[in-house]
């Protein structure tokens, strides 16, 4: 079932499990067209998370900063079309959390290996904060940090496992969040990695 843990924030344990095969195939298709890469921050640091995107626009970071871009900087073409299995999962999960008609135009695909972390940040490069964000975890488990509107607010830890889906909307939409360094391990279907799909309405 769906567990609410803050205003607009819902955890759907195992929601993606029955769609595992279709999701893995779709990730392969996307990565074959737009390979995973380590982007650079504005300060010139290499991000430890490897990323790719699909959809109308993709989230990119480089020395110029963060933004949503209609083209993949590697190759210059459009991002891969969002697979139907992705769009359907995002819409179904959002509806299960009470958000009707969520139609994401961007899906960021994050790849973690043991040691990879994502420091505390807010997602605010999107135009419309009324739309929720849907996040799908696959592979190795991760400890997710969920804070508040202020960076200094206390954080809660949420263990995210293969197949879990989280919907972040309402007041929680602008809360700080991050991922602790991934622990060593091997997942039976995903191997030594974690993949997170982050669905957003960016435009
Ligand atoms: C909490 N990725 O790419 S989205 C990101 O596990 C990112 O890779 C996470 O944070 C990951 O920006 C999963 C989790 C998320 C997204 C938006 C939120 C959590 C949020 C907005 C408010 C509060
Ligand atoms: Fe984020």
User: Quick check: CB of 102 below 6 Å from ligand 1?
Assistant: no
Provide the 3-class DSSP secondary structure of residue 25: helix
Which tokens go with 202?
Answer: 């960016």
Candidates 90, 129, 133, 200: which one to mutate for ligand 1, based on the most atoms within 8 Å of Cβ? 133
Whether 10 has a pLDDT exceeding 90, the answer reads yes
Could you read off the pLDDT of 94-135 as tens digits, one per residue? Answer: 999 999 999 999 999 999 999 999 999 999 999 999 999 999
For the chain, domain boundaries: 2-200
- Model-level ipTM above the cut of 0.90: yes
d(CA 194, CA 162): 8
User: Quick check: CB of 79 below 6 Å from ligand 1?
Assistant: no
d(CA 47, CA 25): 25
User: Quick check: CB of 175 below 6 Å from ligand 1?
Assistant: yes
Instruction: Report the mean per-residue pLDDT for the chain.
Output: 97
CATH 3.40.50.10860 fits 2-200, yes or no: no
Residue nearest to atom 10 of ligand 1 (CA): 178
d(CA 107, CA 86): 8
Could you read off the pLDDT of 168-195 as tens digits, one per residue? Answer: 999 999 999 999 999 999 999 999 999 9
Q: In degrees rounded to 5, what are phi and psi of residue 124? A: -140, 30
User: Quick check: CB of 15 below 6 Å from ligand 1?
Assistant: no
Could you read off the pLDDT of 57-82 as tens digits, one per residue? Answer: 999 999 999 999 999 999 999 999 99
Q: Starting from the CA of residue 179, give the closest ligand.
A: 1
Ligand 1 atom index nearest CA of 179: 6
164, 16 contact by CB (below 8 A): yes
Residue 76 CB contacts under 8 Å (≥ 6 apart), including other chains: none
Residue 1: burial class (beta carbons within 10 Å; 0-12, 13-18, 19+): exposed
Q: What is the pTM of this model?
A: 0.97
């Amino acid at each position: 079932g769906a567990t609410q843990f803050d205003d607009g924030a819902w955890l759907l344990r195992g929601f993606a499990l029955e769609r595992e095969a279709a999701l893995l195939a779709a990730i392969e298709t996307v990565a074959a067209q737009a390979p995973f890469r380590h982007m650079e921050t504005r300060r010139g640091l290499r991000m430890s998370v490897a990323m790719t995107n699909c959809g109308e626009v993709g989230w990119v970071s480089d020395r110029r900063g963060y933004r949503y871009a209609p083209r993949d900087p590697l190759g210059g073409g459009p991002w891969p079309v969002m697979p139907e299995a992705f769009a359907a999962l995002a819409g179904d999960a959002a509806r299960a959390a009470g958000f009707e008609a969520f139609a994401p135009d961007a899906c960021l695909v994050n790849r973690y290996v043991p040691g990879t972390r994502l420091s505390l940040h807010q997602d605010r490069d999107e135009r419309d904060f009324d739309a929720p964000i849907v996040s799908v975890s696959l592979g190795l488990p991760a400890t997710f940090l969920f804070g508040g509107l202020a960076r200094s607010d206390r954080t809660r830890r949420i263990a995210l496992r293969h197949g879990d889906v989280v919907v972040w909307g309402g007041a929680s939409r602008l809360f700080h969040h991050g991922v602790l360094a991934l622990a060593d391990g091997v997942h039976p279907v995903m191997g030594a990695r974690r993949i997170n799909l982050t669905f957003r309405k960016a435009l």
